[in-house]
Amino acid sequence: MDYILGLETSCDETAAAVVGINGVVLSNVIATQIDTHQAYGGVIPEIASRMHVEAINIVIEQALQKAAKTMPEIAAFAVTQGPGLLGALLVGLQAAKTLAYIYQKPLIAVNHLAGHIMANFISEQPQEKMDIPYPFLCLLVSGGHTQLIICRAAGQYQTIGRTIDDAVGEAYDKAARVLRLGYPGGPLVDRLAQRGDPGVIKFSKAKIRAPESEFDFSFSGLKTNVLNYCRQNPAARAENVCAAFQKTVVETLVTNTLAAARKYNIEHIYLAGGVAANQTLRRTLAAEGERQRRHVHLLDLKFCTDNAAMIAGAAVQQWQKKDFAPLNIQAQPNWELG
């Protein structure tokens, strides 16, 4: 069995993982910087880069140790090339290039969003190979991205809808800031929403007009609605605001995803990205999907937010195609997928 060491430093997690080319995860180490950025209510790029420099060698060593592998046993070094924060990406990229050079093994440059999608096909349980039912539709919802993507073959991604303003994770983080819940806001809003009544407050859904795609999303209006509502109703209960906000977000995401699956006649639907951990989104998509005879696959919670196992997982397909990168590649902070 060949093993890939994956590195991820695109935002505020320094991560390293060892994954077999069958998609089995031997180790998945994450050093999170959340505590540091919390004080600022968001990620400070300069601080993120410096913290990656401090943590990268440590997470690499831990990933090897947990996987019970040594560096010469690694067949290739995979790393996030983009999208992400430039200074943060550079740290992982430099580490992977250096290892590829020293050990004379291939370097594999991975798109962070492809990594999020391929997180669906890695496992900590034994599996013979990565089982991927093409074509599939993926709702990618993270702090920086909100996209509906069709994947028809390895590495072939077609984006059929995207946000025209804020990413959904960003909307969660901003709503949490208005309610002074803390950072990152997604899990906090999610938890409070479970205790709230989604019927007390009504936030309207954004209407997307042509020439935008029928599957595009918009969340900036909703964010403003939450802000205005909270200003006008200072006594409103936070759990009801969260429940109403979450209901609007989830209905928008689920309606678009199932409409796209119908239009393109795709049976298999996957979730990806940090917001894929959202309880209401998971529950609603699974229930609605079943009603509409779609096969909804719920991503393992530990692979939703940024990690390096997903980067090594995405690299497996590139490894099979010998899609290797030269050592002089540059970071791609704005690398789009499909």
Q: Which residues bind Zn ion (CB under 5 A)?
A: 142, 306
Pick one of Zn ion, ligand KG4, none as the site partner of residue 87 (Cβ within 5 to 8 A by kind).
Answer: none
CA distance 267 to 133: 9
Supply the minimum distance, in Å, between the C-beta of residue 279 and Zn ion. Answer: 19
Contact 281, 248 (CB under 8 A): no
Contact residue for ligand KG4 among 23, 186, 196, 313 (CB under 6 A)? 186
243 and 193 Cβ atoms separated by less than 8 Å: yes
Return the residue of 63, 275, 316, 325 that touches ligand KG4, per CB under 6 A.
275
Q: Closest CB to ligand KG4 among 143 and 161?
A: 143
Choose the one of Zn ion, ligand KG4, none that binds residue 184, judging by a C-beta under 5 to 8 angstroms depending on kind: ligand KG4
Specify the stretch interacting with ligand KG4 by CB under 6 A; choose among 20-28, 40-48, 146-154, 180-188.
180-188
CB closer to ligand KG4, 173 vs 239: 173
Residue 29 interacting entry, from Zn ion, ligand KG4, none, C-beta within 5 to 8 Å by type: none
Peptide bond into 326 cis (omega under 30): no
187, interface contact from Zn ion, ligand KG4, none, CB < 5-8 Å by kind: ligand KG4
Q: Does 203 bind ligand KG4 (CB under 6 A)?
A: no
Q: In the bound complex, what is the minimum distance in angstroms from residue 142's beta carbon to Zn ion?
A: 4
Query: Judged by CB under 6 A, does residue 80 bind ligand KG4?
Result: no
Q: Is residue 169 involved in binding ligand KG4 (CB under 6 A)?
A: yes
Which is it for strands 107-111 and 74-82: parallel, antiparallel or unpaired?
A: parallel
Using rule CB under 6 A, residue 196 touches ligand KG4: no
CA 232 to the chain's CA centroid = 34
The closest alpha carbon to 47, from 35, 62, 39, 37, belongs to: 37
By DSSP bridging, strand 3-8 and strand 74-82 are parallel
Which C-beta is closer to ligand KG4: that of 5 or that of 168?
Answer: 168
Determine the interface stretch with ligand KG4 among 15-23, 156-164, 199-207, 275-283 (rule: CB under 6 A). 275-283
* Residue 186 interacting entry, from ligand KG4, Zn ion, none, C-beta within 5 to 8 Å by type: ligand KG4
For ligand KG4, the binding residues (CB under 6 A) are: 11, 142-144, 169, 172-173, 184-187, 190, 273-275, 277-278, 305-306
